[in-house]
Structure 1
Amino acid sequence: MTNSNQIISASPRIPAAAYALCLCIGLIGANSLALAPIAPQVAASFGSDVPTVMSASAAFGIGTAASALLLAGLIDRFGPGRILRFSLLVFIAALAASAAAPALPAFIAAQGLAGLAAGVALPSIYTLAALASPAGRESDTLGVVLSGWTLSMVAGVSLSAVIADLIGWRMVYGIVVAAGLAAVTGIATLAAKGAAAGRSAPSPLSALRIPGIAPLLCACAAFMASFYGVYGYIGDHLHQGLRLPVSAGGLLALCYGLGFGAAAFLDRWIDRFGPARLLPALFMAVCGIYLLMAAAAASYVALLAVAFVWGMANHAALNVLIVRLAALDPARRGAIMGLNSGVTYLALFVGTTGFGPLYARAGFAALAGLAVVLMLMAALAAGLAPRSSATSRL
């Protein structure tokens, strides 16, 4: 009996808070991914075109990056639990405004407001995940939280078009609003989590002085730009290049999301081997996947298989990257996670806009080739980041 108790105590359970945070991630991800498949219906209802409607997605991304860079310092001042609760309420209100928007400008403005709320909510979620994780299970706990991106890929991409066809695109946002209210209830016990410093809230940009953060943020920028640059055009490649129906892109996104979720079993190995050692190797693995993607560009079945492995590798790499960043300075996790979110959404903008001209001129395989170059840069930057004692133990 004593041995059994010792084993249990040596392997603490992942806290229930991680699952509530997973739902929060899923909500934000669903909003950022759901517009693309329903954009034709949204455009028709507003008497506009798809490119103009997709400017709402750009507004969401810019709003997220701006608030993450300028406002995430509030997390360290007031505490991540309180900030997350407030930002989620604003996010839900913005989604309700999106569903009720009478005209396209109002819809775009509502999505911009949702981005401002998401830019503070995301670093709050990552900070709370670091605070809630038991010693020795940091990556396992974060892996559960990151599974929210799987929820958003499956529900946000795969189901939004179906829901829009059955009951209209406005109900897509209505359903996310209902899920958001459930999430607010789920995080009620987290409102007091994280000690509020009670001091002035400096800009997260001031955290750039923390030793080791610059190369990790450079790695994050290259990693995210490669993902969004390739993901943003793979659907059009399937439709225009391979002459497949639009639904083919949804199945590929589903494969990616399932791979992202399936990688959760790898998280326990991260804590055993140490994120500082693993991050460059994981970035090189993602680099190899883009090479495979370039070779498989003409085969839909091969791309589905590569997408599944792509999701697994990206899950592991994102997990390790966030663990490394969070360990740099525990007292300033909010600011650090704000920088991470800001860089991520700036990379979304740069990736989708920068990869577009190359795709138009040289095709999809060239995008995978550029992603290979970016991932080599990410691996180099991660290798140059110092291995502090804190990150080595995590």
Structure 2
Amino acid sequence: MISRYLVLLTAAIAVIGANSLALSPIAAAVAASFPGRSAADVMTAAAVYGLATAGSALLLAALADRIGAERALVRALLVLCVALGLGALSPALWTLIAAQGLAGLAAGVALPSIYTLTAQVAAQGRESQTLSFVLTGWTLSLVVGVGLAALLADLLHWRAVFTVLALVAVVLALGISRCHHWGTRAGGETRSSSLQALRIPGIRSVLLNVAAYMTAFYGLYTYLGPHLGEVLQLPASFAGLAIAVYGLGFGAAAPLGRLVDRHGASAAACVSFAGLMLVYLGLMAAVQLPLALLALCLAWGVGNHLGLNLLMRQLAELDPVKRGAVMGLYSAITYLCVFAGALLYRPIFTHYGFAACAWASAMLVLPALGWALGQWRRKQAALRCRSET
């Protein structure tokens, strides 16, 4: 049975994700409200949001370890509500950009808190299944949130988008504050920061895999639309369909979390990362076949969900006492990779095309596959030692 705790956490991710993704489809409408501004100018707000989220996750996420993840999440959602309200009332573009920067600061605290609470409320032996459910919040933001944002902007006004998100954020803050028994983390008080969490044994190798994994995704995702629209000359609706299909695949993978719990994370990681590499190589081979690309986007969503689940689970289990700081590092790296992927893949796409980008992504997943194989071999060796003794 799905608890209200998981529903609240999933909805919180959906609101945060919707805000981060909604600006792109309504950028033209926003620009029309500010004379002399273009859609590209409006997207500066998205860039500021991403940088603020990364900085906040790096410097402020450890707040969840100091005051409790549920308190940190409630405060972050209230700040997000204020930021969204300011965005809805923005008289000039610079105030909208500043509001999105404030929203990024809130998101940088909220996301690690959500992941920390997910680990706390997960039943023993159902960690991956629980995390998979909460991660479907990203699917809701991608498939539902972006579509509703565009619809509200067309039917009412773009300011209605931020108004609705602000109202949902405050409702979630109230709901989470009234819930008790969120579980407890191991250990007592801690004054650790995300930077100090880098001293945790084993964390650096996992974070390097996260950086490569996220760069592989965001780099290719950034240039999927340009490839479909500019190279294949397909309509914008097809690019939107491809993104929606990816989101559906990401959400459809949620039930597979129970298989990870049943067969073990190390074995599942080997299969997941190997499968994701094959998907990237498939995207490289099907670069001129729109329908094949569409089908592979579905598989891409499934593979990305499983790989993300496994990396996040590994991080969450490293040190329960410093889980908020650890998840802060994860969120900071994720948002930095949004920029790194777009920057590093641009010359690849410009000079060699989308197929070369897909090949680069496959190679970036290779370290994660090697790490997973190493984990699996160590586990098998440990099991043999136990059987012999």
Q: Which amino acid aligns with 1:184?
A: A
Picking from 248, 251, 260, the partner of 1:258 is 248
Q: Aligned pair in 2 of structure 1 residues 210, 382: CA closer, same or farther (>3 Å)?
A: farther
Identify if the C-alpha distance between structure 1 residues 186 and 158 changes in structure 2 by more than 3 Å, giving closer, same or farther. same
Q: Provide closer, same or farther for how the CA distance between residues 305 and 191 of structure 1 changes in structure 2, counting only shifts above 3 A.
A: same
Match of 2:6 in 1: 18
Question: Closer, same or farther in 2 for the Cα pair 1:219/1:382, shift >3 Å?
Answer: farther
Deviations 1:92-135 (A, max 9, x none): 11111112111111111111111111001001000000000111
Deviation at 1:282, TM superposition (A): 1.4
Contact 1:208 1:214 in 2 (8 A): yes
What's the offset of the Cα at 1:91?
Answer: 0.9
Q: What amino acid does structure 2 have at the position aligned with 1:305? A: A
Q: Which amino acid aligns with 1:41?
A: A
The counterpart of 1:309, out of the listed 286, 299, 305, is 299
Matched ranges for 1:1-394 at <5 A: 13-46=1-34, 47-190=36-179, 193=182, 195=184, 199=189, 201-384=191-374
Counterparts of 1:149 and 1:387 in 2: how far apart (Å)? Answer: 33
Shift in Å, 1:81:
0.4
Instruction: Name the stretch that deviates more: 269-278 or 82-91.
Output: 269-278
How far has the Cα of 1:372 moved from its partner? 1.1
Q: TM-score, structure 1 length as denominator?
A: 0.90
Give structure 1 regions of 4+ aligned residues with deviation exceeding 3 angstroms.
189-200, 381-389
Which runs of no fewer than 5 residues in structure 1 stay unpaired?
Answer: 1-12
Displacement of 1:172: 1.6
Secondary structure of residue in 1 paired with 2:98: helix
Query: Does the C-alpha gap of structure 1 residues 191 and 96 become closer, same or farther in structure 2, counting only changes over 3 Å?
Result: farther
Question: By how many angstroms is 1:50 displaced?
Answer: 2.5
Would the aligned equivalents of 1:219 and 1:382 in 2 still touch at CA under 8 Å? no
Asked if structure 2 preserves the Cα contact closer than 8 Å seen for 1:218 and 1:381, the reply is no
Gaps spanning 5+ residues in structure 2: where? 383-389
In the alignment, the residues of structure 1 paired with residue 175 and residue 107 of structure 2 have an alpha-carbon distance, to the nearest angstrom, of 18
Letter in 2 for 1:322: M
Residue 385 of structure 2 aligns with which residue? none
Partner of 1:3: none
C-alpha deviation, 1:323, in angstroms: 1.2
Encode CA deviations 1:329-357: one digit per residue, 9 max, x unaligned: 11111111111111111111111222122
Alpha-carbon shift at residue 380 of structure 1 (Å):
2.5
User: Counterparts of 2:190 and 2:257 in 1: how far apart (Å)?
Assistant: 36
Q: Kindly indicate whether the alpha-carbon contact (under 8 Å) linking 1:215 and 1:382 is maintained by their aligned counterparts in 2.
A: no
Q: TM-score scaled to structure 2, two decimals? A: 0.92
Q: Report the more deviating stretch, 30-39 or 157-166.
A: 157-166
**How many Å separate the matches in 1 of 2:161 and 2:197?**
38
Give yes or no for contact 1:43–1:50 (8 Å, CA) kept in 2: yes
Percent of aligned pairs with the same amino acid:
48
Q: How far did residue 44 of structure 1 move?
A: 2.6
Q: Name the CA distance, whole Å, in 2 between partners of 1:207 and 1:385.
A: 22
SS of equivalent to 1:307:
helix
What's the CA shift for 1:90? 0.4
Instruction: Out of 131-140 and 182-191, give the one that drifted further.
Output: 182-191
**Number of residue pairs aligned between Structure 1 and Structure 2:** 379
Question: What secondary structure does 1:147 align onto?
Answer: helix
C-alpha deviations, 1:60-115, integer Å up to 9, x for none?
11111111111111111100000000001101111111121111111111111111
Aligned equivalents of 1:166, 1:387: Cα separation in 2: 57
Which shows bigger deviation, 52-61 or 185-194? 185-194
1:6 is matched with none
The SS at the match of 1:112 is helix
Letter paired with 1:90: V
Deviations 1:218-275 (A, max 9, x none): 1111111111111112112221112122222221111111111111121100101221
Are the aligned partners of 1:27 and 1:179 in contact in 2 as well (CA < 8 Å)?
A: yes
Residues 110-119 or 272-281, more deviating: 272-281
